Amino acid sequence: MLKLMGFPQIRPKVSTIWRVFSIESPDTTYMGLSRRNARLVMIRINKIIALTALLVALLPYAPNSAVAEIIIQRTPDEGVQPRLVTDTDGGIHLLYFKKRINSPAAREGNLYYRQYDPEQGSFGLPLKVSSQAFAMQTFSIARASMAIGADGRLHVMWYLPRESRFNYSRSNPQRSQFEPLRSMVSQYAEGIDAGGEVAARGSQVAIIWGAGALSREYERTMFARFSQDSGATFGEEMMISNPDLGACACCSMAAEYLNDEDLLVAYRSAIDGIGRHMQLLTVSGVDGDMTGASYGALHELQQWEASFCPLSTNDIASASSEEQWLVFETESRIMQLKLSETSDPSRVGEPFSETRQKNPAIALNKDGQRLIAWGEAISHARGGRLNLKVFDEFGNDTGYQLPKEITIDDYSFPAAAGLPNGDFLVLY
């Protein structure tokens, strides 16, 4: 068994012990023991030595059981709706909305970007992303999305409900300036009712959104535009999902490149207007001419029959090892699903009280541990109480508990990232 697992074979040297108790005469005694009792003592000593040698040999193979430190901070600048992304070098990047006027009734403001300094444990100076101010939405499904490409450029997409418009902007590679916004959707803009998603890999960028008549939600579909030159230009608007499945109008989505050719889109369907299931759509050939699309298996924990609109969000996290996880909501409970291998989703944990779990965020660290954070509240406008779980590299709940009760700001939600040293950062 040990050999199959890659552990060394343990062969303790016990010849010396055998010689000590190699007594010729059955009547001979050693240290007052008969030959029979001496042999029993010898057997016990050999077992102890063998076990000790085994434990010493296994020490280099012991798992990293140390629990990461959890750093919990408010979003800088009294900002709300934070989004965190991690680049391939472990850098942490923050996108957030800041009101112009610090008043509960105020809504107008701008998107800002900051980079996290892990050595200082703080964020750098803010950089304005949106070249025009706009009114923040009070529901999380309208949140902005951000991704980072191989050249260091940030790609940001946000939604303007009053104009039924999706805006896009990208930074320069040094992330010191953002370009003027561009309106990205014109042909398939009917019934836009929630935020879109942006994903990046290498020089590829994808923007994804849902559209279609609100009165015929069961026919709505997902659309996308793809860029092969780091967002300088985008291809035409194209349908990527099966219209027979519909698409939840007031539900957010998550998207991530699985590799250079395939893009995963996790979105909620609207089959017959009630089948609001978490669909896993893989779009193939996104590095050139799109060659097809397919759906993953639908587990019972992905299924949600609801005639109402859930106003739900989901999140995907990737590790440098190409490991990817999805977190989403089903029937007011947070689920987790490993995307990088065939597996079934599972419940993350119970709420503090009988209320809704919503707006999950997930982060992975270098040691294979993962953190999942979410809010708990009934009202869609309430951020709710922060809750989180930390799982070790084997998927076991570490039992981490928040040191105090933390309330997320209204109209907001948590964000999470794994730090270069293996710790986790959580913003609310």
Between the CA of residue 195 and those of 142, 210, 224, 250, 313, what are the distances in Å?
Answer: 4, 9, 13, 9, 10
Structure tokens at 121: 């444990």
How far apart are alpha carbons 30 and 45 in whole angstroms? 15
* Per-residue pLDDT, 189: 95
Domain boundaries, the chain: 15-61, 67-109+314-428, 144-312
Q: What are phi and psi of 139, to 5 degrees?
A: -120, 145
Tokens of residue 83, six digits: 């989004």
pTM: 0.84
Over the stretch 31-88, which tens digit does the pLDDT of each residue have?
Answer: 455 555 556 545 565 655 555 554 434 433 344 457 799 999 999 999 999 999 999 9
pLDDT at 355: 95
Structure tokens, 329: 């909501």
Q: Which CATH architecture has domain 144-312?
A: 6 Propeller (2.120)
Backbone angles phi, psi at 392, to 5 degrees: -80, -175
3-state SS class at 115: strand
Residue-by-residue pLDDT tens, the chain, 428 positions: 322 333 233 333 333 333 333 334 444 444 455 555 556 545 565 655 555 554 434 433 344 457 799 999 999 999 999 999 999 999 999 999 999 988 777 889 999 999 999 999 999 999 999 999 999 888 899 999 999 999 999 999 999 988 889 999 999 999 999 999 999 999 999 999 999 999 999 999 999 999 999 999 999 999 999 999 999 999 999 999 999 999 999 999 999 999 999 999 999 999 999 999 999 999 999 998 889 999 999 999 999 999 999 999 999 999 876 799 999 999 999 999 999 888 999 999 999 999 999 999 999 999 999 999 999 998 888 999 999 999 999 999 999 999 999 999 999 999 999 999 999 999 99
